[in-house]
Amino acid sequence: MLGPNGSGKTTLLRVIAGLLLPEAGQVACNGRDTRADRDAWSAAFSYLAHSDGLKPELTAGENLAFEVGLRRRVSQAEVDGALGDLGIAHARNQLVATLSAGQRRRVAFARIMLSGAPLWILDEPYTNLDRDGSVFASAIIGRHLDAGGTALIAAHQPPAIPGHRPRNLELAA
């Protein structure tokens, strides 16, 4: 989903996620209104918002164990593996408050990765990531697509996902 600032990308993603009510129309998945069973719909996707959704007073490991744990059983080894995949294995026992913005984004990405949801809704996923981080993120999105998953991404630039050509939806300002 591409478009200039203020074109409504985040709003549309929040409507799809069920965090905002649409002024008109409905959000449907497989022909069923997503509001009919909100909890089942929420379980089907994982949402990365502008904010990373992490508690600064908890360590990266504690944050992941909690947030992923709400959705599915997750082992410490899986958490460590995801942090390692994103190049921040050392952050496991570090308070999120002491991590840089880019490192926090990577932890948030690890949450999406571990969620096990078939649909990823990613709002500006590359924000605050350095070049390495962006490459990690693209590779992880690519792996998710290879495994039959779907990703709905809002971005300023069309994301470069290795081995995949995203379909673009342009929103006018």
Partner 1 sequence: MSRTTTLSAALLVYRRDLLLAQRHWGQVAQPLVFFVMVATLFPLALSPELSELRRIASGVLWVAALLASLLGLELLFRSDHADGTLEQMLLSGQPLSVLALAKGFAHWTACGLPLVLFSPFVAGAIGVPLDSLGTVMVSLALGTGILSAIGAIGSALTLGLRRGSLLLGLLVLPLAMPALIFGARAIDLSIQGDSARGPLLLLAAMLVLAVTLAPPAIAAALRISAE
- Residues in contact with partner 1 by the rule CB under 8 A: 17-21, 39-40, 42-47, 49, 51-58, 62, 66-67, 69-73, 111, 116
In whole angstroms, what separates CA 5 from the centre of its chain? Answer: 20
Cβ at position 104, least distance to partner 1 in Å: 10
How do 150-154 and 119-123 pair as beta strands? parallel
The residue among 49 and 139 lying less far from partner 1, judged by its C-beta, is 49
The residue among 44 and 160 lying less far from partner 1, judged by its C-beta, is 44
- Do 35 and 26 meet the contact criterion of CB atoms below 8 Å apart? yes
Cβ at position 48, least distance to partner 1 in Å: 10
Cβ at position 51, least distance to partner 1 in Å: 4
For 114-129, letters b (16+ CB in 10 Å) and e give bbebebbbbbbbbebb
Which sign, positive or negative, has the C-alpha torsion 9, 157, 99, 108?
A: positive
- What DSSP assignment string belongs to 89-146? GGGGGSBGGGS-HHHHHHHHHHHHHHH--SEEEEESTTTT--HHHHHHHHHHHHHHHH
Q: Which of 135, 63, 132 is nearest to 92 (CA)?
A: 63
Cβ at position 168, least distance to partner 1 in Å: 25
The residue among 43 and 139 lying less far from partner 1, judged by its C-beta, is 43
Cβ at position 163, least distance to partner 1 in Å: 24
The residue among 39 and 172 lying less far from partner 1, judged by its C-beta, is 39
The residue among 78 and 85 lying less far from partner 1, judged by its C-beta, is 78
